[in-house]
Amino acid sequence: MQDPAASAARTLTIESVGAQGDGRARENGALVSVPFTLAGETVRVEGAGDRLKLLEVVSPSPDRIAPACRHFGACGGCTLQHMASAPYAEYKRDLILRVLKARGLEAEVPAAWITPPGSRRRAALAAKKSGKQVVLGFHARKSHELIALNECPVLRPAIVAALPRLREIAGFLLSGKDETGLLVTETAAGLDLHISGVAKGVKALARAEAASAALRAGFARVSIEGADVLTERRPSLPAGSAQLLPPPGGFLQASAEAEAHMAELVIDHLGDAPLVADLFSGSGTFALRLAARAGVYAAEGNTAAIDALKTSARAAHGLKPVTAEVRDLFRNPLAASELNRFGGIVLDPPRAGAAAQSHEIARSTVLRVAYVSCDPATLARDLRTLVDGGYRIVRIHPIDQFLWSAHVEAVALLEKPS
């Protein structure tokens, strides 16, 4: 039974901002998290455990600013709109430094590269019915409640402008209390929409009506549960001199600007190596760019992604040879003996990192490695493996691809003495 005293309103002093973007305070000898607070602030809260609710900022930090969005605090998409730009950038850099220190690693970590507002080209929205209305938006913090989205300073304007049409499209596919996912991406051909979580009872006619509504709205492509339903124009995204042709619902970097910056770092680091490997290649974000100057071997566990990469490479002009293979790099990593023929490697694994593959890279003679990571903790773990295998960390670049969140990407550049 919850102690009534523990849930009563009280005053706390915030000591720091934690890895999840919440303020951290000490209460009865234990650290507790308070959302939407900053270091040095005195705040009034209520609740207990990890459900503390901010009631009032009694003494605000000089780093506190007005949030950019009316939905901030309710919508779970952003956690740090109240933090000024300079301390925000330093916070992102510090997320990298913390995990390095925990693993006994040191490296040069320059200032974080911050993605600009209004530049996120991809949004994973959810929709459900509330009475006769369709609610479309992001989930509230630590909740299944959907916050109806009317604006979003993070997303590209074309996606924000399409919100009413997306509600209409979702309305044809919603049944009862079921929730449907809408992944929308701005591409060179227009908006690409992938719909998932459609209830089994939704009839073919409703699916056709949804596709028709998307066609009227000018969408380039609509796919449902991975199957192409309607392609008016083939979606494409620039990848250097090539065009990346993404599969329905496939993984893509959320920001074109961040992607281009990361690719530039990777290409510069791998230099003039005549043959490189792109591991966890996805649909070719790095492979297509690298192939402008080097032969590329790409490996990825997702068949649709590899098929898309092959199609994109064939359609491009002037690329060096690209060999792409479906391969589960978690269970079947490239062995050191397979890796030794490459002059450089880029790897971009999911959040779980690349523990098995890193062990093999550490045993190899490959001179340069670029490790692109979306999770600082698994990055630090794998960097420890690579450093213990003889690599030196040249630099780690923090990349703020998800603006005003507690998430940070990183591009770690390593080399091994020849």
Burial of 116 (0-12, 13-18, 19+ CB in 10 A): exposed
Which of 69, 75, 78, 374 is catalytic? The answer is 374
297 touches 325 (CB < 8 A):
yes
Distance of alpha carbon 222 from alpha carbon 237, whole angstroms? 16
DSSP 233: S
Token pair of 417, please? Answer: 């003495």
Give how far Cα 252 sits from Cα of 84, 360, 400, Å: 29, 26, 16
Distance of alpha carbon 403 from alpha carbon 200, whole angstroms? 36
3-state DSSP of the chain: CCCCCCCCCEEEEEEEECCCCCEEEEECCEEEEECCCCCCCEEEEECCCCCCEEEEEEECCCCECCCCCCCECCECCCCCCCECHHHHHHHHHHHHHHHHHHCCCCCCCCCCEECCCCCECEEEEEEEEECCEEEEEEEECCCCCEEECCCCCCECHHHHHCHHHHHHHHHHHCCCCCCEEEEEEEECCEEEEEEECCCCCCCHHHHHHHHHHHHHCCCCEEEECCEEEEECCCCCEEECCEEECCCCCCCCCCEHHHHHHHHHHHHHHHCCCCEEEEECCCCCCCHHHHCCCCEEEEEECCHHHHHHHHHHHHHCCCCCCEEEEECCCCCCCCCHHHHCCCCEEEECCCCCCCHHHHHHHHHCCCCEEEEEECCHHHHHHHHHHHHHCCCEEEEEEEEECCCCCCCCEEEEEEECCC
The contacts of residue 67 (CB under 8 Å, 6+ apart) are 73, 78, 81, 82
Within 10 A of 108 (CB to CB), how many other CB atoms are there?
10
Q: Is residue 152 among the annotated active site residues? A: no
Question: Which residues are tagged catalytic?
Answer: 374
